[in-house]
Amino acid sequence: MLGGFITTFLSWRIAFLLEVVIIGVVLSGIKLVHDAPYTGSREVDVVGALLSIVGMGGVVLGILVWQEGGEYVLAIQVSGAIALAGFASWLVRRKRQNRAALIDPDLFRSKHFQIGISQQGLQQIALGGAMIALPIYLQMVLEYNALQAGLSIAPLSLSMFAVAMLAGRKAGARRPSTIVRVGFLLLALGMGLLVPLVPRVDSGWYLLGPLVIAGSGLGLLVSQLNNYTLAPISEERVSEAAGVNSAAGSFGLSFGLAFSGAIMLATLAFSFTNLAEQSTVLPPSDKERVAMALEEDAEVMSNTQLTELLENEPPQIQAEVIRINNEARPVALQVALLVPIIAALLGLLNSFRMSRLPDVTPSSAAEGMSLG
């Protein structure tokens, strides 16, 4: 909401100044952070850092290049996958040599840590997918400005915050796996309810119910996953484990944003081209122009933007292109929403693995990082 206000009435650049304020608030409380004694090596694993950058960056970059219609997509993706495999092998090798590694591979010996990391990634993939599809829907289909779009999405974040606080205090004797299962179920349900609404509603108010349901699910996940993931980790290693957990979440968010956006634009290009080819109004030359334009740069556009773009075309051509846009755009957005739905369903299935493991009481250090 704050970002929407700044973008609408001031400038989106000013939003970056808020980061400075937030960093200042964090630094003002730095004395509250207590270091745990660490006796390991302080050597920097440069090779491990580079492999992790190339690996995770290559996977996401390959999706973005595909989204933009660029070349060498497969090569970038394969390079990223090879770098990730090399990164895993490098960590194990460094551990055997008793040398410092970017990540201690022994962290992944814990089943709780493995499952917690995967659940964190799936939660963030779902969030990232929703955070690209919903603003595009609100701004390009309903033609809301940034502030109106922010207000329309607010029920998702507000319900997530409220439920996370409530569940964190009232969980009681309920097993984390049960709460996480309900969280992913609500997330999948909320996102699923949005799919049939996309082509039919003309106001953001219709999204209120599904967003509250999805936000409640995310709140339940936020209240449990960090503690669950870090619970079995020793106090000396909990900061490192929290860093890995945070990195998995960031990677999941980036992947969800990139993949959902790429799927949306690919579907838009396919649907728009298909409908243009079937049109009895557009002449062959215009059909060819549409196909070439979408191949070079597919973009979700509002009807207002299209009208301005087509102002020199005959009225019947304008009306036909807008009709095609109105049919193709909702399909693309519905397909994009499948990304958070699938991620939520995978998290739901993964929660049954969680239930087969005994619960672990988090250490005081892990509990201190429950909101990290």
**21 in a domain, yes or no?**
no
Rounded distance between C-alpha atoms, residue 161 and residue 156, angstroms: 9
Note whether 99 and 223 are same-domain residues. no
Domain boundary among 54, 70, 103: 103
**6 in a domain, yes or no?**
no
Note whether 99 and 123 are same-domain residues. no
Q: How crowded is the C-beta side of 107, counted as CA atoms within 13 Å? A: 27
**23 in a domain, yes or no?**
no
Are the CB atoms for 167 and 219 separated by under 8 Å? yes
Domain assignment of residue 361, given as a range:
118-372
| pLDDT at site 293 | 59
Note whether 69 and 134 are same-domain residues. no
Note whether 124 and 225 are same-domain residues. yes
Note whether 140 and 52 are same-domain residues. no
Structural domains of the chain, count: 2
The single-letter DSSP state of residue 183 is H
> CATH number for the domain including 297?
1.20.1250.20
**303 in a domain, yes or no?**
yes
Note whether 72 and 199 are same-domain residues. no
Note whether 214 and 358 are same-domain residues. yes
Note whether 299 and 248 are same-domain residues. yes
Domain boundary among 103, 132, 152: 103
**26 in a domain, yes or no?**
no
- Select from 352, 161, 369 the least CA-distant residue to 245: 369
Are the CB atoms for 228 and 112 separated by under 8 Å? yes
Note whether 248 and 360 are same-domain residues. yes
Domain boundary among 103, 138, 156: 103
Note whether 167 and 239 are same-domain residues. yes
**125 in a domain, yes or no?**
yes
Rounded distance between C-alpha atoms, residue 226 and residue 228, angstroms: 5
**360 in a domain, yes or no?**
yes
Helix (H/G/I), strand (E/B), else coil: 52: helix
Note whether 145 and 258 are same-domain residues. yes
Q: How far is CA 48 from the centre of its chain?
A: 25
| pLDDT at site 181 | 94
Note whether 297 and 330 are same-domain residues. yes
Task: Tell me the Ramachandran region of residue 291: left when phi exceeds 0, alpha when psi lies from -120 to 50, beta otherwise.
Answer: alpha
- CA distance between the termini of the chain: 22
**24 in a domain, yes or no?**
no
Q: Mean pLDDT by 10-residue block, N- to C-terminus, for the chain (372 residues)?
A: 75 80 88 71 83 88 74 84 92 86 84 90 92 85 84 90 84 81 95 90 88 94 87 79 87 88 83 81 71 58 73 80 83 91 95 85 55 44
Q: What is the pLDDT of residues 159-212, one digit of tens each?
A: 999 998 888 777 667 888 899 999 999 999 999 999 998 888 888 888 999 999
| pLDDT at site 299 | 62
Structure-token pair, residue 252: 């999941």
